[in-house]
Amino acid sequence: MALRQVLDIIDLLDRPDIDGSAIADLFASRGLGGMNAEAVKTERGSTTFLKLTIPGTDGRSTGGSAPTLGIIGFLGGVGARPEVVGLVSDGDGAVTALSAGLKLVDMYELGDRLPGDIILTTHVSPNAPVRPHEPVPFMGSPVGMEEMCERLVDPQMDAILSIDTTKGNRIINTRGFAISPTVKEGYVLRVSESLLSLQEWVTGRRRPCSQ
């Protein structure tokens, strides 16, 4: 269970002055420092890109050969101040990715370590712009999608779990969470059986939420 980590991350992100250093300090206090935090400013606002590698027992960071998994929290921002006060739902990508990373760090400190490295990336913007969109307004981002992908996707990642919040579409629009099909080299594949098993364990439901 990662409920404690989720609550810790939500409490931390639900601040108008949240920045990368505060998040890096939290991870360091749990035993793993070295989180890279890079602030970026544009005419549309500012955000901080975060990146942390959680070493595996046989990961490349320690000279091993186990594959590297990327966990990416995609989003426009965790806040839309001054239009909206407080943490917004678009921040779920960052909340989920950082919570998963914090749980892995806690496990790492206790000696429960995965074979491969985990590379965690996301970005945090407490004052992201909002733009009109139907059926609901969309959170904008201080940086464009191309730059965001360049900063969040690391070439060392052999596979990626990309977490996003998107309530303004007609394909997957559900309470809780849903799992979309796997995409590999331009092909849309069937939904991962292992991810569906995890979803069943967490939700207690036999059917995927997206169906």
Where are the domains positioned within the chain?
A: 3-169, 177-211
**What mean pLDDT comes out for the span 118-124?**
96
- Residue-wise pLDDT for 53-64, tens only, equals 999 999 999 999
Mean pLDDT of 160-186: 78
- Distance CA(195)–CA(115), nearest Å, equals 18
Tens-digit pLDDT profile for residues 59-85? 999 999 999 999 999 886 888 787 778
pLDDT per residue as tens digits for the range 17-66: 998 999 999 999 999 999 999 999 988 888 999 999 999 999 999 999 99
Q: What is the pLDDT of residue 120?
A: 98
Please tell me the predicted confidence (pLDDT) of residue 131: 76
Give the pLDDT of residue 136: 63
Domain covering 3-169 in this structure, CATH number: 3.40.630.10
Question: In the prediction, which pLDDT does 102 show?
Answer: 97
Give the percent of the chain with pLDDT over 70.
91
Q: Of 4, 42, 56, which is closest to residue 26 (Cα–Cα)? A: 4
Helix (H, G, I), strand (E, B) or coil at 80: strand
Closest CA to 57 of 100, 93, 107, 12: 107
Is the pLDDT assigned to residue 208 strictly greater than 70? no
Q: Is residue 169 very low, low, confident or very high in pLDDT (cuts 50, 70, 90)?
A: low
pLDDT band at 127 (very low <50, low <70, confident <90, very high): confident
d(CA 114, CA 20): 26
pLDDT, position 210 = 44
Interior angle at CA 141, CA 97 and CA 26, nearest 5: 35
Q: What is the mean pLDDT of residues 169-186?
A: 77
Among 205, 174, 177, 208, which residue's Cα sits nearest to residue 191? 208
Express as a percent the part of the chain with pLDDT over 90.
52
Q: Is the pTM of this model over 0.85?
A: no
- Measured CA to CA, the distance from residue 68 to residue 179 in angstroms comes to 21
